[in-house]
Amino acid sequence: MKIKTPLILASCIFATASAVFSQDAPEPDWQTSIVTFDITRNNFNFRIPWDKRAQTAAKLGTVIEGNEILTTAQGLANRTLVRLQKGGRGKWYNGNVEWVDYQANLAVVGVSDAAFWEGLAPVRFAQADELKRNLQIVRWRGGNIERRAAEFSRFSVADANFNQAPRIEMKTSSEMEGAGRGELMMSGGRVVGLVASKSGSTCSVIPSPFIMSILEKRASGDYRGLGFFDFIWQPASNPATTKYFEFSGQTGGVLLIKPSTRPGAKSPLKLHDIILEIDGYPIDIQGDYLDPDYGHVIMEYLACRKKWAGDIVKFKIWRDGEKREIDYVLPKADFSKNLIIDGPVGKEPTYVIAGGLVFVPLSAEFLSSWGADWQRTAPFRLVYYNKQKAKKDQPSLVVLSLVLPDSYNIGYQERKSQNLVLDRVNGRQISKLDDLIVALENPQNGFHVFLFNKGSSVQKIILEADQLDEANQRIAKRYGVARLQKLK
Amino acid sequence: MRILFTTLFFTFLTGLASAADMGRSVVQVSVYSQTPIWDAPWRNNPVASSSGSGFVIDGDRVMTNAHVVSWAKQIVLRRFQDPRPWLARVEYISHECDLAVLKVDTPGFFDGLKSLPLGGLPEVQSTVVTCGYPAGGQQISYTRGVVSRIEMQNYVHIGNRAFLSVQTDAAINPGNSGGPVFQGDEVVGVAFMGTPGLENTGFFIPSAVINHFLEDVSDGKYDGFPKAGIRIVSLQNPAYRRYLGLPVTGDGARIDSLADYTEKAGLLKKDDVILAVGEHPVGSDGTILLEGNRVYCTTAFQVPQKGEKLKLKIWRDHKEIDVAVPMEVRDDDLNIGNLYDAPPRYFVFAGLVFTPLTLDYVKTFGRNWRGVANSEMIYELYYRRNETPAKVRKEPVVLATTLAHPVNADMRLASRAMIDTINGKRIETLEDVIAAFEENTKPQHMIQFISGTVECLDNTQAKLANPEILSTYGIQTDRRL
């Protein structure tokens, strides 16, 4: 006993000293590492696609190595002017977005004026084992640095709300008001992550290991974007189901119920394969795996864990009563070929106005003009295309979104003539606006014949071909539309 | 001025006096009813009491609204100033047009009661008197108002059918439902609904609809209102009119689309222009002139009885033709209207409760069911039939809920999901579900949902567990077909 006492005492002293050191360690001067953004952007209304409304937004960024500023990608789409301010006050400098990835929700901004960089110092990022303790959120507010405590909650993989690469998120709670604009989450002297959003008191933070892996890849010049798993699975927690698929006796795995969500894609996976392991990580019956950095998280993140679009991911599966190994090539998180086009972000809306009939591509951006809850508030039929497969001869869709009233289109101005999906115009199948332009050059016996998809509230509209140009000019003038079409 | 005032006063007094006299034939209808729980279809809600009004018509019968006597367990009539309760039963009911005819088996009820004669369509701005037993009193109540407008209205009781309806500013309150609306000595309508949020807005069912119902049931059974299976749109765009070879400012409305059965029948075609329905010329906005009121032409489509032919004057291929369309009653859209009086069909197997997909079922998702319910269900109910009729299931089936038991405890997807196949059999009706389970001899049952999700049950254990589950949850029988 006597021997043990000094040892215990020594341990206590060491532990106390360690805690003191951690709390009192000199921190970087955050004033020299955090900058303020003022971003002016065109806020397009995809239902009035020619209309541009300027919008300004403030956010925060942090200085990283190589005289660059790191921030979140949110709010940078359709930007017209990016300005930065250091020290929370004083002169504004023009910035240039050098790299942005909306799927990763990260962007890097440069400033060409050398004076901007004077007195600024890059931050250091925290490692995976430094993410959970002594958290604080730091930002500029009213010309002063504001710091608020935050508490670690959990790691999770962001829900794929519509079409999104899986992203790891660190959930923390904090009372800092209005956070979610790229504030720094820090611990000790290191940056733990960027605050991407806040709902209630819960902040979603992009954790530093994820940020570092992307910055490293970008620095190597080989950043190919994030990948994603394009299949749908269900937990294999029902023993009767595993027996049915002759898979009894195994302790984990999930059941594949859709080999690929990408139109026309060929997948090495098959319906009702059971996925046992991905890149050596065993998958449990809930679809989770044990991540060395983040603990138990859903297997979707294995598409992003040090993997990039085009990389091969190793799958161990159960098929036809035996184990097999499969190489799965990670598709890029690019959803612009979907039936409801999603992205690329930051493009101006495209449209064609013909005789007051406004046609737009059916896209996620168009649907999101119904608001944040668009999956419930946008017209049901349009949203439901997200659950449907594209037809071979119609891989994407064009919508009659609006009618600008004119004598030329009288009879088609009622609400039931809106939000209709085009099938054919003048006999030509319509998948994109370019098809429509070509079709309008070939009227049928002096008429433009528009046919809408079966089941539409109106299935046919006719316009006089030789009056179209005159009507277009009149309508453009009356409604202040500078351009009657924008195709790219 | 003095003469005018006197005349108006006299007219008013005469109107009320006449209505008051006829009010003796207006009865109070008290109902005890019990509605089913659509996502636990073997159960019912608590018994509820409600009351409405009714009136005596020819043949010792009482007319009232269908919604007054829907799901009734007991119907009691009370006569004017008569304290005695008289038991009644539903003889005929039309949930489409919200009308019902009641019979009283106890002799003596109709003694001293005159049947009230039906009149025609009242004119807009003419005076009407509503009569009935609105909530808050046991005595008969009269209110006077004018006819505000006459047009097609969605009848909320069924929810998915529109008929001619008369709007009035005479107060129509809960309890007035089923009561007569008088004009002079005649009944010109049956009060049936109001509009929440709109003041002085009540609606009554006009005699044209009432007469159709009474004529329908005169052969001893109710058939319903036939449908043409066409979607008519206005034809007012000059280019479209020229395209069809019609004068730019002329009449006629266009058939834009056809129901699958109409298309197969081949009598009517897309782009047919309806110039007249029966004797009524059709305007380019799709309306006809009906006794001085412009109403949508579908009114005239509701005149024929089942099996009768409706004469249409059609413009097709640049010439006028006459078409006689056999009018048939269709039940293909029953499930997208509110259902009444027939308790929901179901089948319980190993604690899994299967029931047909209906509007009543999806309403169990809550008030905001359109935004909350599974989108596949909404599509199946409202869009599938029009878009891909070949893929329509006769009776889509949902797994409504799962009654917890060890045999089904490992199922992840255990409720509110639409069934695609069971044991490889495509599920078209509830009977298919039963057959798929009962005919399977493999060790597991495999249920595939529309979403692609798969759940399995052990065959032997499921069979053994079934009686115990029914007993535990107080389900008298495993099926109601």
A140-194 tens-digit pLDDT:
998 999 999 999 999 999 754 556 788 899 999 999 999 999 999 999 889 999 9
pLDDT band of residue B337 (cuts 50, 70, 90) is very high
Q: What is the mean pLDDT of residues B234-255?
A: 95
Mutate to test the interface with B, among A238, A466, A470 (most CBs of B within 10 A): A238
pLDDT at residue A296 above 80? yes
Q: How many CB atoms are located within 10 Å of the residue B363 CB?
A: 16
Query: In terms of residues, how long is chain B?
Result: 481
Q: What is the mean pLDDT of residues B393-412?
A: 95
Q: Which residues pair with B458 in a beta bridge?
A: B444
Q: Is the domain defined by B230-326 classed in CATH 2.30.42.10?
A: yes
Q: What is the mean pLDDT of residues B64-76?
A: 97
Chain B partners of A255 at a C-beta cutoff of 8 Å?
Answer: 454
Q: What is the mean pLDDT of residues A232-258?
A: 88
pLDDT at residue B374 above 60? yes
Distance from CA of B189 to the nearest CA of A (A): 32
What are the sequence ranges of the domains in chain B?
19-103, 127-217, 230-326, 344-480
**Do the first three CATH levels of B230-326 and B344-480 match, i.e. the same topology?**
no
Query: Which among A123, A136, A122 is positioned nearest to A188, based on CA atoms?
Result: A136
Task: Dump pLDDT digits (tens) for A76-119.
Answer: 999 999 999 999 999 999 999 999 999 899 999 999 999 999 99
Instruction: Give the whole-angstrom CA distance, residue B422 versus residue B437.
Output: 7
Beta strand ranges found along A332-472 (DSSP E): 351-354, 357-361, 398-403, 420-425, 428-429, 447-452, 460-464
Strands B454-458 and B425-426 turn out to be: unpaired
What pLDDT shows up at residue A159? 59
Q: What is the mean pLDDT of residues B206-211?
A: 97
CATH of domain B127-217: 2.40.10.10
Nearest by CB: A462 against B237, B371, B456:
B237
Residues of A at the B interface (Cβ-Cβ below 8 Å)? Answer: 232, 234-235, 237-241, 243-244, 255, 257-258, 272, 376-377, 380-381, 383-384, 387, 408-412, 414, 416, 447, 449, 453-455, 458-464, 467
Task: Dump pLDDT digits (tens) for B160-204.
Answer: 999 999 999 988 888 999 999 999 999 999 999 987 777 778 999
Mind spelling out the 3-state secondary structure of A372-411?
A: CCHHHHCCHHHHHHHHCCCECCECCCEEEEEECCCHHHCC
Cβ A182 vs Cβ A19: under 8 Å: no
Q: How many CB atoms are located within 10 Å of the residue A480 CB?
A: 8
Query: Which among A373, A352, A345, A376 is positioned nearest to A363, based on CA atoms?
Result: A345
pLDDT at residue A24 above 50? no
- Report whether the peptide linkage leading into residue A361 is cis, meaning its omega lies within 30 degrees of zero: no
| Residue with the two structure tokens 């049956």 | B190
Residue B139, both tokens:
């005595």
pLDDT at residue A4 above 60? no
Task: Dump pLDDT digits (tens) for B404-426.
Answer: 999 999 998 888 999 999 999 99
The amino acid present at A268, given as its one-letter code, is P
The amino acid present at B51, given as its one-letter code, is S
Q: Which residue blocks in A226-356 are alpha helix, DSSP H?
A: 239-244
Strands A420-425 and A460-464 turn out to be: unpaired
pLDDT at residue A308 above 90? yes
Query: Between 2.60.40.10, 3.20.190.20, 1.10.10.350, 3.20.20.370, what CATH number should domain B344-480 receive?
Result: 3.20.190.20
Residue B428, both tokens:
């078209």
Q: How many CB atoms are located within 10 Å of the residue B383 CB?
A: 15
SS3 B294: strand
What pLDDT shows up at residue A12? 37
Distance from CA of B469 to the nearest CA of A (A): 19
Instruction: Please report, in angstroms and rounded to a whole number, the separation of the first and last CA atoms in chain A.
Output: 81
What pLDDT shows up at residue A27? 64
* Mean pLDDT over the full length of chain B: 92
Q: What is the mean pLDDT of residues A439-453?
A: 97
Instruction: Give the whole-angstrom CA distance, residue B389 versus residue B46.
Output: 39
Query: Which among A431, A360, A364 is positioned nearest to A399, based on CA atoms?
Result: A360
Q: What is the DSSP letter of A342?
A: B
Instruction: Give the whole-angstrom CA distance, residue A206 versus residue A215.
Output: 13
Cβ A66 vs Cβ A48: under 8 Å: no
pLDDT at residue A402 above 90? yes
What pLDDT shows up at residue A22? 42
pLDDT at residue A346 above 90? no
- Active-site option among B30, B67, B165, B445: B67
Q: What is the mean pLDDT of residues A263-284?
A: 93
Instruction: Give the whole-angstrom CA distance, residue B427 versus residue B313.
Output: 43
B386 touches chain A (CB under 8 A): yes
Q: Which residue blocks in A76-219 are alpha helix, DSSP H?
A: 114-117, 208-219
Mean pLDDT check: name the lowest of A4-8, A206-210, B178-182, B184-188: A4-8
Strands B162-168 and B202-206 turn out to be: antiparallel
| Confidence (pTM) | 0.89
Q: Which residue of B has its CA nearest to A453?
A: B387
Give the architecture (CATH level 2) of B19-103.
Answer: Beta Barrel (2.40)
What pLDDT shows up at residue A34? 96
Q: Decide if B455 and A376 are in contact by the 8 Å CB cutoff.
A: no
pLDDT at residue B63 above 90? yes
B95 is catalytic: no
Catalogue all structural domains in chain A, each as residue range(s) with its CATH number: 30-117 (2.40.10.10), 128-219 (2.40.10.10), 232-329 (2.30.42.10), 351-486 (3.20.190.20)
SS3 B144: strand
Mutate to test the interface with B, among A244, A407, A412 (most CBs of B within 10 A): A244
Residue A235 Ramachandran class (φ > 0 left, ψ -120 to 50 alpha, else beta): beta
Q: Decide if A238 and B256 are in contact by the 8 Å CB cutoff.
A: no
Residues 6+ apart with CB under 8 A from B115: B25, B56, B57, B58, B59, B60
User: Counting one residue from A and one from B, how many pairs have CB atoms under 8 Å apart?
Assistant: 101
Residue A171, both tokens:
């959930």
Q: Decide if A243 and B412 are in contact by the 8 Å CB cutoff.
A: no
pLDDT at residue B20 above 90? no
| Residue with the two structure tokens 């029931």 | B355
Instruction: Give the whole-angstrom CA distance, residue B91 versus residue B70.
Output: 12
